[in-house]
Structure 1
Amino acid sequence: MLLPWEYGVRNLARRPVRTALTLVALATVVMLVFVVVGFIRGLEQSLSVSGDEDVVLVYSVNSEENIENSSIEARTPALLTASFDGVVKRFGVTHVSPELYLGTRVKTVNGEGGLGLVRGVKLTTPLVRRSVKLVEGDWPGDGEVIVGRLAATKLGSPDEAMAIGQQLEFEGRSWNISGRFAAGGAAYESEIWCKLEDFQTATKRQDLSLVAMLLSPGSSPAEVELFCKERTDLELRAIRETDYYASLQQHYKPVRVLAWFVVVLVSAAGVFAGLNMMYGAVAGRIREIATLQALGFRRRAILVSLIQEGVLLAAAGSLLSGAIALTMLNGMAVRFTMGAFALRIDSVAIVIGCSVGLLLGVLGALPPALKALQAEVATSLKAV
């Protein structure tokens, strides 16, 4: 026969201070799990939504995955469009975006700032970068820039410093912010965009970093790759944009593996913390446990009741952490080497966090409960 369900619930209420401390400890551990899993899911989401299946990137073969280190000739877009017929062309406008992309020191009006990602673009860029939407202000004119919604996070500056009308300073020039854009969580959201010609003048460069081309239905990136292989003098490589960001997923795989390892370490630390708290809780109830055995309750029933208390506390801690994570952590922007992205507390993060919490409740309660039940009843009844 099992102990009544209400018995375990009342026991938690009898020791409010100890129950509250245990709840806070469990909630803290689960919150750390939510932070790390949210980081992993946010990074994966940012990279997965950045690519476009119909876009091909052409850049220097010597730069490998680092496009900001790429340098190609300014005539490359014209060569590509003249040699390849698979690019989308509407109303006489070819959907090709020549871009100059690099990391540079950016300062805000209050003198703060850091390493920012700046992209020189043309009016045709939104036709190729179809996820980019101007949400406020106007497209940049001469001496102007538009900023992504996470650009302030990338620079470590407050959002007010990136408001329309404010000024940024980079490459020895001052630039007025004319607008803000979003890209559905893509990597572009941490960038600053300006006119290509202005950026080339400011950097004293006439070359490009890459050319992005929107392919028409039925066209294959293999044709662009063949052109790049045939023109060995240009030293170009072509890759589908989704494949490029998939390679970045592999590039950041060690980071993700390390993050999952941190989840395991945090969970293990939580188990030991739970053991410590539960040992203290059970140590003060030795006479109570012996009395229950003297009244005829089997050890299995008492064990189930003690585990029930641990699981109830863990479930409450998981729910508390989950509510805080969804309301405060979800969507919080964080800086990273590739730019910035938002923490993502999705269904996967919720399942992992709550599962870890419930596991802590079981594993934290089981060893001390088994140890208490192994003692002789007569000896335990005399315990102080």
Structure 2
Amino acid sequence: MLLPWEYGVRNLARRPVRTALTLVALATVVMLVFVVVGFIRGLEQSLAVSGDKQVVLVYSVTSEENIENSSILAQTPSLLTASLNTAVRRFGVTHVSPELYLGTRVKTDEGDGGLGLVRGVTLSAPLVRRSVKLIEGGWPGEGQVIVGRLVAAKLGSSDESLLVGKSIWFEGKEWKISGRFAAGGAAYESEIWCKLGDFQSTTKRQDLSLVAMLLSPGGSAAEVQLFCKERNDLELRAIRETDYYASLQQHYKPVRLLAWFVVALVSAAGIFAGLNMMYGAVAGRNREIATLQAIGYRRRAILASLVQEGVLLAAAGSLLSGVIALTMLNGIAVRFTMGAFTLRIDSVAILIGCGVGLLLGVVGALPPALKALRAEVATSLKAV
């Protein structure tokens, strides 16, 4: 026969201070799990939505995966459009975007700032980068820029310093912010965009970093790749944008593995903390446990009641952490080497966080409960 369900609930209420401390400890551990898993999910989501399977990137073969180090001829876009018929062409406009992309020191008018990512583009960029949408202001003119919604996080600045009408400085020049854009969580959201010609003259560069082509329905990325191989004098390589960001997923795989290792360490630390708390909670109840055995309750029934208390505390701690994570952590911008992304507390993060919490409740309660049940009933009844 099992002990009544209310027995375990009442036991938690009889020791309010100890119960509250245990609840806070469990909630803190689960919150750390939410933060780390949210980081992993946010990084994966940002890389997953950045690529467009209809877009092909053409850049220098010597730059490998680092497009910032790429340098190709300014005539590359015209060579591609003249030699290939794979890009979308509407109303006489070919959907090909020549771009100059580099990392540089950016300063705001509030005196803060950091290393930013700047992309020089033309009016054809929105035709190719189809996820980019202006959410405020207008397209940049001479000496103007538009900023992604995560640029402030990338620079370590406040959102107020990057409002429309404010100024930023990079490459020794002042730039006015003419607008802000979003890209559905893509990597572009941590970038600063300006006019290509303006950026080239400021940096005293006439080359490009890459060319992005939007393939027509009948176009093939293989044709672009074949052209790059045949024109080996240009030292170009072509890759689908989705494949490029998939390679970045592999590049950041050690970071993700390290993050999962941190989840395991935090969970292990939580289990030991739970053991310590539960040992303290059970140690003063030897007489109670012995009395329950003396009046006829089996050891497995008492064990189930003690585990029930641990699970109830763990479930409450997980619920508390889940609510805080969803309302306060979800969507927080995080600065990273590739730019910035947002923490993502999705269904996977909730499942893992709450699963770890319930595991702490079960594993933390079992050893001290088993130890208390092994003691002799007569000896425990005499305990003070």
The residue that corresponds to 2:43 in the other structure is 43
The residue that corresponds to 2:93 in the other structure is 93
Q: Quick one: distance in 1 between partners of 2:218 and 2:8?
A: 66
The residue that corresponds to 2:102 in the other structure is 102
Alignment of 1:244-323 (within 5 A): 244-323=244-323
Q: Quick one: distance in 2 between partners of 1:167 and 1:103?
A: 18
Determine whether 1:65 maps to 2:89: no
The letter of the residue matching 1:117 is L
Q: Quick one: distance in 2 between partners of 1:218 and 1:301?
A: 69
Q: What are the superposed Cα offsets for residues 280-322 of structure 1, whole Å, 9 maximum, x if unpaired?
A: 0000101100110111101000000000000000000000000
Q: Which runs of 5+ in 1 are unaligned?
A: none
Q: Quick one: distance in 2 between partners of 1:167 and 1:277?
A: 54
State the Cα distance separating 1:218 from its structure 2 match. 2.1
The residue that corresponds to 2:198 in the other structure is 198
Q: Quick one: distance in 2 between partners of 1:129 and 1:90?
A: 16
Q: Quick one: distance in 1 between partners of 2:342 and 2:355?
A: 23
SS in 2 for 1:300: helix
Q: Quick one: distance in 2 between partners of 1:305 and 1:118?
A: 60
Identity over aligned pairs, percent: 85
Q: Quick one: distance in 1 between partners of 2:171 and 2:273?
A: 52
Determine whether 1:342 maps to 2:342: yes
The residue that corresponds to 2:55 in the other structure is 55
Q: Quick one: distance in 2 between partners of 1:36 and 1:219?
A: 41
Q: Quick one: distance in 1 between partners of 2:220 and 2:89?
A: 16
State the Cα distance separating 1:111 from its structure 2 match. 1.3
The residue that corresponds to 2:31 in the other structure is 31
SS in 2 for 1:176: strand
Q: Quick one: distance in 2 between partners of 1:211 and 1:111?
A: 34
Q: What are the superposed Cα offsets for residues 261-298 of structure 1, whole Å, 9 maximum, x if unpaired?
A: 00000000000000000000000101100110111101
Q: What are the superposed Cα offsets for residues 64-104 of structure 1, whole Å, 9 maximum, x if unpaired?
A: 00000000000000000000001100000000000000000
The letter of the residue matching 2:333 is A
Q: Quick one: distance in 1 between partners of 2:285 and 2:103?
A: 62
SS in 1 for 2:359: helix
Q: Quick one: distance in 2 between partners of 1:27 and 1:127?
A: 47
The residue that corresponds to 2:83 in the other structure is 83
Q: Quick one: distance in 2 between partners of 1:205 and 1:218?
A: 35
SS in 2 for 1:271: helix
State the Cα distance separating 1:219 from its structure 2 match. 1.2
The residue that corresponds to 1:149 in the other structure is 149
User: RMSD between aligned alpha carbons?
Assistant: 0.3
Q: Quick one: distance in 2 between partners of 1:218 and 1:104?
A: 38
The residue that corresponds to 2:237 in the other structure is 237
State the Cα distance separating 1:117 from its structure 2 match. 0.2
The letter of the residue matching 2:144 is E
Q: Quick one: distance in 1 between partners of 2:247 and 2:205?
A: 28
Q: Quick one: distance in 2 between partners of 1:47 and 1:294?
A: 62
The letter of the residue matching 2:131 is S
The residue that corresponds to 1:128 in the other structure is 128
The letter of the residue matching 2:92 is G
The residue that corresponds to 1:376 in the other structure is 376
Q: TM-score, length-normalised on structure 1?
A: 1.00
Q: Quick one: distance in 1 between partners of 2:13 and 2:163?
A: 51
State the Cα distance separating 1:143 from its structure 2 match. 0.1
The residue that corresponds to 1:167 in the other structure is 167
SS in 2 for 1:228: helix
The letter of the residue matching 1:191 is E
The letter of the residue matching 2:58 is V
Q: TM-score, length-normalised on structure 2?
A: 1.00
How many residue pairs align between the two structures?
384
Alignment of 1:205-244 (within 5 A): 205-244=205-244
Q: Following TM superposition, where does structure 1 have runs of at least 4 consecutive aligned residues deviating by more than 4 angstroms?
A: none
Q: Which runs of 5+ in 2 are unaligned?
A: none
The residue that corresponds to 2:188 in the other structure is 188
The residue that corresponds to 2:117 in the other structure is 117
Q: Quick one: distance in 1 between partners of 2:352 and 2:361?
A: 14
SS in 2 for 1:250: helix
Q: What are the superposed Cα offsets for residues 158-191 of structure 1, whole Å, 9 maximum, x if unpaired?
A: 0000000000000000000000000000000000
The letter of the residue matching 1:173 is K
Q: What are the superposed Cα offsets for residues 84-143 of structure 1, whole Å, 9 maximum, x if unpaired?
A: 001100000000000000000000001110000000000000000000000000000000
Q: Quick one: distance in 2 between partners of 1:248 and 1:221?
A: 19
The residue that corresponds to 2:361 in the other structure is 361
State the Cα distance separating 1:379 from its structure 2 match. 0.3
Q: Quick one: distance in 2 between partners of 1:383 and 1:151?
A: 64
